Structure 1
C-alpha cells in the first residue's frame, strides 16, 4: 500500500503514463516523445510525484506486448522499482467495460493498466538469464526454419505433380526420403529447358554415382537403389503438362536449393540448442526419457523457459493450454475440451516431441492405448495424443526442477508408498 502505480502505454515513439493511487485516482499524467530505452527520466519524474503525494515508491505496470516491456523492466530494476505486466486482453475488456464502446486512446489505456494493477489483475514477468534467453531465441529461429522447410517440400510436390507426376511415385513418402530428394536435386541441376534427355543419357550407373555424391547434403551416406532406379526410370515419362516443364522445373530447382539451405541451417541451430542444454546440465537428464531426443526437449524448454518458475507441473500444462476445460452447469454436463489458452508455440513443440516419444516410450504407448480403448469416456486419437503431450510436459517439469532422472515405475503410477513420500519431498521425478 506504500507504492503508487505508474501505468504506461508503450508505443514506438510516443508514450503515455498515468500515476494513480490505490483507488485509481489520478495523481499525475504525462505524455512524452521517448523511445523505450529513453524512459528513465519519466520513471524519475513519476517517483518524485509519488513521494510528493505521500507514497514511498512506485510500481511500474505495462502491457507485455512486443519487446519494449523488457527495456522498461531493466530501467525499473536499475532504480529499484517493481514492475508488473497486464495482459492485453484484460485491457481490451476493461476498455469495453468503461462505456460499452471501443473508444481507445493512449492516456485511457495507461489509466486502465494502472487500474487493473491496483485490482491485482497483473503478474510479474519472467526474468531469465542469458542462457535461457539464448535457448528461447534459438527455439524461435528453429520454428521458423521448420515452417520454411515444410513450405519448400509442399511447393516442390505441387510443381512436380503438375508437370512430372510420375517421379512422385518413385518412393512411398518422397519428401521424407533422402535418396529421392538427392535424386531430384541431381535431375533438376542437369536438366536444361525442361528437357530430361541429358539426364537419361547419363545412364543409370553415372546417375547413381551423382546421387551418392549428393546424399551427404541431405544427411545420409547410403542411397536406396530401388528409389534411385525408380527416379531414373521416370525420366522418360511424358504424363503431365509437358509444355510447362521448362519454367516449372527451373522453379523447382530453386525450391530444392532453398530447401537444402534451410535444412543445413536448421541442423546448425539444433546443434546450438543441444549445446545450450549441455551448459544447463540437462542433456543427460532429458535423455533418460525414452523416445525424447535432446533436440525435442530443447525445443520444448525453449518455449517454457526455466520450468522452476512454475509452481507445479500442472501450472506448466495450463501455460501450454493443454489442460481440459470443464463445461458443466446444474444438470448439464458438456464435453470437456482443451483450453487452447496459453503459449501456442509451446503446444506445437510438445505436440511434435510426443509423436516420436509415443512409440518409443512404453509408458506413453500404454497411456495412449488406454485412453483410446477404455470403455468409459474413450478419447479419439488426437485427443489422446494431446493428453500424452501434457504428460510429457509434466515429466519435463519434474526431472528438470528436481534434477532427478526419469523413472518408468513412478511415471506409470506403480510407485510404492515410500517412493510417493520421497516424491512429495522432491526426491524423485513424477
Structure 2
C-alpha cells in the first residue's frame, strides 16, 4: 500500500469540526500568550498572557472552559511551536488534562504571519493567532507521548552528542599540542589517541624529559601503566627524536599543565561515553522490537538508539515515508509551466534523525550483503551516482525498520529483494 500525504492532510483538516475551540499558544521562557478561533478562523475571546507555572496553566484551562461555554463549543485543540525546551512542560500538563495538544512547524509560522493583516509586523499576540489559524487549516502534527525507554534514549543520545563534541575537541587539541611541542612524536606513534601514545604523553610529556632518560627506563615506566607496552626500539627512537626535536622549547611548565588538563578532559569524555553507551544498551533491551531490528546485519545499538530517540515508538508510524517526512528526507521540487526545477531534499525535519538514518544506511551498505548488492547494482548497472543510490537506500531502510516495528517480525533478507548477481 502506497502512503499518500494528501490523505493524511485531509484527515487533519476533517478532525477540526464546528464544535472545536482552536487555541494557539505563543511559547516563551516566562510568559506565554494564547489566542482562540473557531473552525472558520473567527477570533474568539481576548488574548490571554499566562505564566509558565502551575497557576498560569490553570488560568489557561479556566479561560478555555469559559470560551467553550460562552460559544457553545464541545471540545478544544491546543497548538504551539516546539520552541526550544520551553513548550515541553505546558504540552505535558495539557496532555494530562486530556486535551489534544499539537505542534506546528516554526518555519510555517514565519511564512504565514502576513495572512491575517498583510503586514510584516510580529508580536506574541499575532504569532499565537497565526498558530491557531494553522491548526484550523490542518497544518499540525500530534504529539506522540513517549514511554520511559524512549524518553531515556532521547536524553542519553542528546547527552552523547554533547560528550562527543568535547571528546573530539580534546583529541584535536592534543594533536595540536603534539604538533607544537614534539612534532616528531608521530614517527613513533601514528595515532596520538592510542594507548601507547597517551601513556607516553602522561609519563614524559615533552622532549626535555626524554633527552635525559635511558631506553630501559622508559620501558619500565610503560610497564607500570600498560600490560602490553611498546618495545625497546620505540623507546630508543623516542629518545633520538627528542634530542633532535624542532618543537617549541619555551614555557615548558605552562605547556605541561595544558597537556595535563587536555588529557583529563579526554579521559573524562571517554569514561562518560562508555557509561552512556551502556545505558543506551540497557534502554534498548526494554523495547519489544529492538532485538528484531538489531537482527539486521550492520545496524548498531548506537545508531538504533539515535533513531528511536528522535522517533519514539516506530510502530506508531503509518509508513516508512512518514518517517522520512519526520526526518525531512522527503523530496520537493519547484516547477511552473514548462520550467522544472531541481528535485531536492526538503530538510524540514529532525536533523539528528537524518544523520542517524544516513549513518545507519552507510553501515548497511558496508556490512549488509543485501544492501551492498543493491548499491552495487544501482551504481554499476543503473549508472546512478553513489550519493543518489545511498539516498534511495535511506528510504528503503526507513520503510524496512517501520515495517519490522509495526509487525514485530524478524529481519528477512529475502524481502529486501536481492538482485541478480552482477556480471564479473
Q: Same fold (TM over 0.5)?
A: yes
The alignment status of 1:10 with 2:27, answered yes or no, reads yes
Match of 2:254 among 221, 228, 247: 247
CA 1:342–1:77 in structure 2 vs 1: closer, same or farther (change >3 Å)?
Answer: closer
Is there any run of 5+ residues in structure 1 with no aligned partner, and where?
A: 189-194, 216-220, 416-430
Give the Cα–Cα distance (whole angstroms) in 1 for the partners of residues 222 and 376 of structure 2: 42
Give the Cα–Cα distance (whole angstroms) in 1 for the partners of residues 220 and 330 of structure 2: 53
Between 222-231 and 136-145, the greater mean CA deviation after superposition: 222-231
Match of 1:396 in 2: 401
Conserved in 2, the CA contact under 8 Å of 1:289 and 1:406? yes
CA 1:33–1:49 in structure 2 vs 1: closer, same or farther (change >3 Å)?
Answer: closer
The alignment status of 1:92 with 2:110, answered yes or no, reads yes
Give the Cα–Cα distance (whole angstroms) in 2 for the partners of residues 212 and 395 of structure 1: 50
What is the deviation of 1:384?
A: 4.2
What is the deviation of 1:306?
A: 1.3
Match of 1:156 in 2: 174
Render the CA deviation track for 1:50-103: whole Å, top value 9, x for unaligned. 211111132212112223333223332333322221111111111144455431
Match of 1:363 in 2: 370
Is there any run of 5+ residues in structure 2 with no aligned partner, and where?
A: 1-16
Match of 1:349 in 2: 356
What is the deviation of 1:43?
A: 1.4
Match of 2:313 among 306, 310, 322: 306
Match of 1:66 among 84, 95, 117: 84
SS in 1 for 2:406: helix
Conserved in 1, the CA contact under 8 Å of 2:316 and 2:406? no
CA 1:206–1:326 in structure 2 vs 1: closer, same or farther (change >3 Å)?
Answer: farther
**Number of residue pairs the alignment of both structures matches:** 401
Give the Cα–Cα distance (whole angstroms) in 1 for the partners of residues 197 and 59 of structure 2: 62
Give the Cα–Cα distance (whole angstroms) in 1 for the partners of residues 96 and 299 of structure 2: 41
Match of 2:41 in 1: 24
Match of 1:337 among 329, 344, 347: 344
Q: What is the TM-score with the length of structure 2 in the denominator?
A: 0.84
The alignment status of 1:182 with 2:206, answered yes or no, reads no
CA 1:300–1:410 in structure 2 vs 1: closer, same or farther (change >3 Å)?
Answer: same
Give the Cα–Cα distance (whole angstroms) in 2 for the partners of residues 261 and 236 of structure 1: 33
What is the deviation of 1:179?
A: 3.0
Give the Cα–Cα distance (whole angstroms) in 2 for the partners of residues 227 and 366 of structure 1: 46
Give the Cα–Cα distance (whole angstroms) in 2 for the partners of residues 328 and 212 of structure 1: 69
Match of 2:129 in 1: 111
Conserved in 1, the CA contact under 8 Å of 2:374 and 2:419? no
What is the deviation of 1:180?
A: 2.6
The alignment status of 1:196 with 2:201, answered yes or no, reads no
CA RMSD of aligned residues (A): 2.9
Match of 1:405 in 2: 410
CA 1:332–1:201 in structure 2 vs 1: closer, same or farther (change >3 Å)?
Answer: same
Conserved in 2, the CA contact under 8 Å of 1:208 and 1:228? no
CA 1:58–1:101 in structure 2 vs 1: closer, same or farther (change >3 Å)?
Answer: same
What is the deviation of 1:394?
A: 3.5
Give the Cα–Cα distance (whole angstroms) in 2 for the partners of residues 356 and 390 of structure 1: 15
